[in-house]
């Protein structure tokens, strides 16, 4: 008889039995460092984006000075990340692999889910609406998840605080950190190099305006000049005065609702992500001595960032699909 031997499969990846001690050691070191060396400090919170430099880059006539802000730097990073994702996905597809793996595989699954939602809602206009839906969702998703990256909102330049602030401590020859306790005057605050993009109202309002304008463009492409009867309907104004006045009033309400979409889009995204960033600041300063506690809130913000990105893109896609449908003449037979 021939004796056959089977090779055991090689184990790869994360080995919890070996690396759990490393995780435990990091938790202990974090606890010691937070309690005996550098206690967590709540970052300075403000609505406007901070400037990288005091002098503006340029000044536009009638608009004003243009500064380089930390949220503008975040926008550049998000655009670069979108470009890198697109290039990696394109290269993976061109290789001819039937099943994509890694980041391209995850991106393929996301795009397939988004397209299925678009096709079930928009029908034949799916190929026109889908690029808007996917682009907005991915961009907002990356912008929201920036708050989970170490160093965002925590690495920057230390400046004198206008009111209150914290003390500082020198770390070597080039680095300085903010330390407790807080002071009433003469303190310092941290101005981060990069701040979460979605916490800047300028970004959310600009993206909302782009989305609403795109909805009108899709509506005009689908219905032509007839699309504007949605806002100004006087077809039955004289033939049936009562119903004509009602249709005219409904059109004005539709016009007001289009403008209100900008506020709805902008403040929903801004409010949720800004509140999430403040939550991470506060929980990190209160519970930062044990790393496992702030990690729970990081997972919460991971889910909130994903949900808000999908909601923003899904509402845009739904409004575009509705814009392709005519309202009819509302004829009534007696």
pLDDT of residue 55: 83
Q: How many whole angstroms separate alpha carbon 153 and alpha carbon 146?
A: 10
Task: Note the pLDDT tens digit of each residue in 16-33.
Answer: 556 778 777 777 877 777
Q: How many whole angstroms separate alpha carbon 73 and alpha carbon 51?
A: 10
Q: What is the dihedral of CA 119, 125, 126, 128, to 10 degrees?
A: -170
Is the Cβ–Cβ distance between 54 and 165 less than 8 Å?
no
Answer yes or no: is pLDDT of 40 > 80.
no
Task: Note the pLDDT tens digit of each residue in 99-157.
Answer: 888 888 899 999 999 999 999 988 889 999 999 999 999 999 999 999 888 888 888 88
Is the Cβ–Cβ distance between 298 and 281 less than 8 Å?
no
Q: How many whole angstroms separate alpha carbon 269 and alpha carbon 140?
A: 9
What is the arithmetic mean of pLDDT over 297-320?
92
Answer yes or no: is pLDDT of 298 > 50.
yes
Answer yes or no: is pLDDT of 56 > 70.
yes
Q: How many whole angstroms separate alpha carbon 16 and alpha carbon 147?
A: 27
What is the arithmetic mean of pLDDT over 156-164?
79
E strands in the chain: 58-60, 64-66, 156-160, 166-171, 175-182, 188-192
DSSP label at residue 177: E
Of all residues in the chain, what percent carry a pLDDT higher than 70? Answer: 86
Is the Cβ–Cβ distance between 178 and 189 less than 8 Å?
yes
pLDDT of residue 329: 41
Q: How many whole angstroms separate alpha carbon 322 and alpha carbon 218?
A: 10
Q: How many whole angstroms separate alpha carbon 229 and alpha carbon 255?
A: 11
What is the arithmetic mean of pLDDT over 256-284?
89
The winner for highest mean pLDDT among 56-65, 106-115, 147-156, 243-252 is 106-115
Q: How many CB atoms lie within 10 A of CB 61?
A: 5
E strands in 33-155: 58-60, 64-66
Task: Note the pLDDT tens digit of each residue in 179-238.
Answer: 777 776 778 888 889 999 999 999 999 999 999 999 999 998 888 888 887 777 766 666
The winner for highest mean pLDDT among 87-96, 134-143, 244-253, 283-292 is 134-143
Q: How many whole angstroms separate alpha carbon 83 and alpha carbon 76?
A: 11
Answer yes or no: is pLDDT of 46 > 90.
no
pLDDT of residue 114: 93
pLDDT of residue 333: 39
Residue labelled with tokens 């380089």: 68
Q: What are the angstrom distances between the C-alpha of 246 and each of 62, 250, 252, 254, 323?
A: 41, 6, 10, 12, 21
Q: How many CB atoms lie within 10 A of CB 198?
A: 31
pLDDT of residue 236: 65
Answer yes or no: is pLDDT of 164 > 90.
no
What is the arithmetic mean of pLDDT over 276-287?
82
pLDDT of residue 3: 52
Q: Domain residue spans in the chain?
A: 41-155+193-323
* SS3 state at 188: strand
> With b meaning 16 or more CB within 10 Å and e meaning fewer, what string describes 125-150?
bbebbbebbbebbbbbbbbbbbbeee
The winner for highest mean pLDDT among 163-167, 201-205, 256-260 is 201-205
List all residues 6 or more positions away from 269 whose beta carbon is below 8 Å from its beta carbon. Answer: 140, 198, 204, 207, 208, 308, 312
pLDDT of residue 179: 76
Answer yes or no: is pLDDT of 288 > 80.
no
Residue labelled with tokens 């979605």: 198
What is the arithmetic mean of pLDDT over 143-172?
82
pLDDT of residue 332: 40
* Partners of 167 in beta bridges: 179
- pLDDT averaged over the chain? 82
């Amino acid at each position: 008889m021939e004796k056959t031997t089977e090779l055991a499969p090689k184990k790869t990846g994360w080995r919890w039995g070996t690396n759990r001690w490393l995780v435990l050691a990091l938790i202990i070191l974090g606890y010691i460092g937070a309690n005996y060396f550098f206690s967590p400090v709540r970052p300075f919170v403000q609505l406007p984006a901070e400037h990288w430099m005091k002098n503006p880059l340029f000044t536009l006539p009638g608009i004003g000075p243009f500064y380089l802000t930390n949220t503008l730097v975040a926008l550049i990073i998000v655009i670069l990340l979108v470009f890198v994702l697109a290039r990696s996905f394109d290269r993976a597809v061109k290789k001819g692999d039937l099943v994509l793996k890694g980041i391209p595989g995850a991106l393929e699954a996301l795009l397939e889910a988004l397209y299925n939602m678009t096709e079930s809602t928009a029908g034949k206009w799916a190929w026109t609406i889908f690029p808007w839906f996917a682009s907005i969702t991915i961009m907002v998703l990356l912008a929201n998840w920036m708050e989970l990256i170490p160093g965002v909102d925590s690495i920057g330049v230390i400046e004198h605080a206008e009111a209150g602030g914290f003390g500082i401590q020198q770390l070597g020859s080039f680095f300085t950190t903010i330390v407790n306790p807080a002071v009433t005057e003469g303190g310092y605050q941290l101005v981060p190099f990069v701040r979460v993009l979605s916490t800047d109202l300028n970004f959310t309002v600009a993206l909302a305006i782009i989305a609403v304008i795109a909805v009108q463009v899709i509506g005009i492409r689908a219905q032509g000049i007839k699309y504007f009867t949605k806002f100004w309907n006087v077809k039955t104004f004289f033939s049936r005065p009562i119903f004509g006045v009602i249709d005219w009033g409904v059109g004005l309400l539709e016009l007001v609702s289009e403008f209100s979409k900008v506020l709805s889009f902008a403040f929903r995204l801004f409010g949720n992500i800004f509140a999430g960033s403040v939550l991470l600041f506060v929980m990190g300063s209160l519970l930062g001595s044990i790393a496992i506690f702030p990690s729970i809130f990081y997972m919460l913000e991971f889910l909130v960032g994903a949900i808000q990105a999908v909601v923003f893109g899904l509402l845009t896609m739904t409004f575009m699909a509705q814009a392709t449908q005519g309202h009819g003449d509302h004829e009534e037979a007696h």
